[in-house]
Amino acid sequence: MPRNAFYAQSGGVTSVINASACGVIERASQAKEIGKVYAGLNGILGALREDLIDTSKETKAAIRQLRMTPSGAFGSCRYKLKSPESHPREYERILDVFRAHDIGYFFYNGGGDSQDTANKLAQYSQKQGFPITCIGIPKTVDNDLPLTDTCPGFGSVAKYVAISTLEAALDVRSMAETSTKVFVLEVMGRHAGWIAAAGGLIKNKPSDPPHVIVFPEIAFDPIVFVNKVKSVIAKEGYCVVVASEGAQTAEGCFLAESGVSDAFGHAQLGGVAPFLVDLIKRELGLKCHWALADYLQRAARHIASKTDVEQAYAVGASAVESAIAGHNAMMVAIERLSNAPYRWKTSLVPLHKVANVERKMPRRFISKDGFGITQAAKTYLEPLIHGEDYPAYKSGLPQYATLKRVLVPKKLASAGF
């Protein structure tokens, strides 16, 4: 008899993670090896709390519309499972729930921590004599997973940041003679500057914005930064800065760390833009404006990259195909075959080689002065933002999926998670 599957979304969501969910559900519905697909309500917490959404209760049209819908349609969470050795109760509970609902496949859609969880569960279930086929599905706007050419979610954020930088730059340039001289856009990126680098896609000649990009990979020196801004103002009359939230000093201290950590143990960041604006005002006395892209950059499905949407769907569908082919403890990766034309395919990489490993921007992608990107970076980035994949509109607004999210009747007592 076919066994059921469990799909969960983890961590910060993206504008295309639901396209991966669509890929999983649509492909699984065609597989005779898989019965029902249950989705975790609020990610892995759905497994711990036995909150399982029966996706078969949704219409085919609603599932298809997920491809066009931002956010996490089934709910996500920041909950990191510890090791089975130190916290066996979590893993025991998940297996109990999976046994109760005859679940033999686990598809975990997330970043490095999520791939770590999928790998641990694969190993633990084997030892317990109830093997679960675990396949990781990549997702992160930070683009920092190793062994994959790119991460679904990044291409759309890159497109949003590039367009926002372009449009804001035109605004500042038009006002610079008598008003704002400097504009700073703060974008996501904890330890890797991929998103900030995307702003550089609009720069085709030295005078073009962004004039300064602040990367986590380049130690921030306030004197060098201020002098750079000053020289740009003298030459161009205005200055546009794109800054990563993960910008840090040579000592490894974040410029804007709140002192709060999330559930994964990561420092809560935010506030680089006002930090830089205060520095510029204090040292140069210039009028500045700043903006925080924050959730807007990862929620903007209306301007998603077509390449990104297609890849997000493909990794979801490929995860199912890999599982029924007998693969286990693997993550679906994207492999670049050529740049021009841009061609790619999905492949598999071992979860243990992906888990908790961050891929940063290579130095060859960053200009010698540390404030821009190279042609090599452009060659890598440009194909990822290509194409438009607009959702349907009604009365001027995009139409996104609204799911019923019908829960399966519980068979176990609450475990207190």
Beta strands 257-261 and 103-110 are: unpaired
Catalytic residues: 142
pLDDT at residue number 358: 92
> What is the predicted pLDDT for the residue at 260?
45
What is the predicted pLDDT for the residue at 259?
47
Using only C-alpha atoms, the chain has a radius of gyration, in whole angstroms, of 22
Please tell me the distance from the alpha carbon of residue 242 to that of residue 360, in angstroms, as a whole number.
Answer: 17
pTM of the model: 0.95
Those residues with Cβ within 8 angstroms of residue 43's Cβ, 6 or more apart along the chain or in another chain:
8, 9, 10, 72, 74, 75, 76, 77, 79, 110
CA distances from 160 to 124, 196, 233, 301, 311 (A): 40, 11, 26, 9, 17
> Of all residues in the chain, what percent carry a pLDDT higher than 90?
93
What's the pLDDT score for residue 269?
A: 61
User: Are 20 and 37 a contacting pair, CB within 8 Å?
Assistant: no
d(CA 374, CA 378): 7
- Give the three-class secondary structure for 343: strand
- Which domains are assigned to the chain? 3-139+302-356+386-398 (3.40.50.450), 154-301 (3.40.50.460)
Cα atoms found within 13 Å of the Cα of residue 173, Cβ hemisphere only = 15
* pLDDT tens string 365-412: 999 999 999 999 999 999 999 999 999 999 999 999 999 999 999 999
Encoded amino acid at 106, one letter: F
Nearest to 212 by CA among 373, 361, 360: 373
Which residues does 395 contact at the CB level (< 8 Å), separation at least 6?
none
Contact by Cβ (8 Å): 40, 47: yes
Residues of the chain with pLDDT under 50: 258-260
For residue 266, the model assigns a pLDDT of 55
Q: Distance between CA atoms of 112 and 110, rounded to whole angstroms? A: 7
pLDDT at 190: 83
Question: CA angle, corner 110, sides to 314 and 303, nearest 5?
Answer: 60
